[in-house]
Amino acid sequence: MPTTEISYLRNELEVRRERLLEASSSAAGDASLRQLLTNVDAALSRLNAGTFGICEQCHESIEADRLLCDPLVRFCLDHLSQEEQCALEQDLSLAAGIQRTLLPRPDWSVDGWQARYHYQPASLVSGDYCDLIESNGGFLFLLGDVAGKGVAASMLMSHLHATFRTLAGQHLPLPLLMEHANRLFCESTTAGQFATMIVGSALPDGKVEYVSAGHLPLFHVSPAGVRAREATGVPLGMFSATHFPVCEVRLAPGDKLLLYTDGLTEMSNAAGEEYGVARVQALARRHAAAEPHSLVAACLEELRSFSANAKQTDDLTLLVLHRTN
């Protein structure tokens, strides 16, 4: 585990220890608080002894995202008791259910636009972020990928969701929206946590403004061809004072935008070769005239045959925005 995360956890444990001391010395303090205090002290001793984060059963490393969520864990996922495993599975499926409620409606549409997406976590929960928010007569589209995966990434994903949902109500210009969201994200995450994102605003007349914070190229799909549009800025959460340059693109009726996360481009075939951005572009060219849901389906079908149904290792999200008239 990196030193920044270790010092973050040490600080967390010390803060919690203070709180527990106060609470357990009050009149209502009970034995369970004293037990927690003992557990916190034991975790601090493990930090001092250099054994923190090592499974007491197999002596291998405990999963870093679990330690960040709960620095008191002492066993790796493989060595939980039956009871702990059941509790964890229940927690995860609850979290997965909550995460699904954060997604846009599957048949989403507004004046002049229609969207279709595919959201597929590598395990139960995902670090990918996908949202569509009606705003100012048009709408905002947001697609992001939090670094890492699993529970820690999914918590940051829901944090991003809340941040953008709150800021969207203020109808800020795109650069300001990004600057505010970035600052909030920086202030509430530890070093090394960041997210690549595309955030755009689209109007009924086909005008689209967008910012790409270090994200993979988005594709403008039209009868004239498929044009890749590269990132315009650094990922969210890297530097608290960052400017995000805005790009503009105009979609004619029938045109589409294709956005995706690296669960698509980094999927490997049997030879260890990645699917890559060029294949996404070629596929979009072949299906330029397809309806949005057919483009999503074609993408998934090709990915399945490319990877020969290999196990999905990263969260995958596809989003197609279609200008209808």
Residue reference for tokens 């045959």: 305
Angstrom distance (rounded) from CA 1 to CA 71: 12
Q: Is residue 75 classed exposed, middle or buried when 0-12, 13-18 and 19+ CB atoms within 10 A define those classes?
A: middle
Q: Given the complex with Zn ion, which of 56 and 205 has the nearer CB atom?
A: 56
Minimum Å distance from CB 113 to Zn ion? 50
CB of 66 to Zn ion, least distance (A): 12
Q: How far apart are CA 56 and CA 76, in angstroms?
A: 8
| Nearer to Zn ion (CB atom), residue 79 or residue 229 | 79
Nearer to Zn ion, 58 or 94 (CB): 58
With respect to Zn ion, which residue has the nearer C-beta, 15 or 58? 58
Q: How far is the CB of 83 from Zn ion (least distance, A)?
A: 16
Q: Which two tokens stand for residue 160?
A: 């991003």
Nearer to Zn ion, 83 or 273 (CB): 83
Residue 61 Cβ, how far from Zn ion at the closest point, in Å? Answer: 9
In order of 139, 140, 203, 305, the CA distances from 136 in angstroms are: 7, 9, 8, 42
Q: Which is nearer to Zn ion, 73 or 172 (CB)?
A: 73
Q: How far is the CB of 68 from Zn ion (least distance, A)?
A: 18
Q: How far apart are CA 272 and CA 281, in angstroms?
A: 20
**Shortest spacing between CB 79 and Zn ion, in angstroms:** 4
Report how far apart, in Å, the C-alpha atoms of 306 and of each of 55, 91, 239, 271, 290 are. Answer: 37, 34, 37, 10, 21
Task: Considering only residues 144 through 173, tell me which ones interact with Zn ion, judged by CB under 5 A.
Answer: none
**Are 108 and 114 contacting, i.e. CB atoms less than 8 angstroms apart?**
yes
Interaction mask 21-60, Zn ion, x per CB under 5 A: ----------------------------------x-xx--
Touching Zn ion, residues 244-263 (CB under 5 A): none
CB atoms within 10 A of CB 205: 12
What is the smallest separation between the CB atom of 8 and Zn ion, expressed in angstroms?
23
Q: List binders of Zn ion among 55-84 (CB under 5 A).
A: 55, 57-58, 76, 79
Q: Quick one: 70 or 248, whose CB is closer to Zn ion? A: 70
Greatest alpha-carbon span in the chain? 75
What is the C-alpha to C-alpha distance for residues 244 and 232, in angstroms, rounded to an integer?
7
DSSP letter at 310? P
* Total H helices, total E strands in the chain: 9, 11
Q: How far is the CB of 122 from Zn ion (least distance, A)?
A: 21
DSSP 3-state of 117: strand
Residue 85 or residue 188: which is nearer to Zn ion going by CB?
85
- Tell me the residue type at 206: G
Residues of this chain that bind Zn ion (CB under 5 A) = 55, 57-58, 76, 79
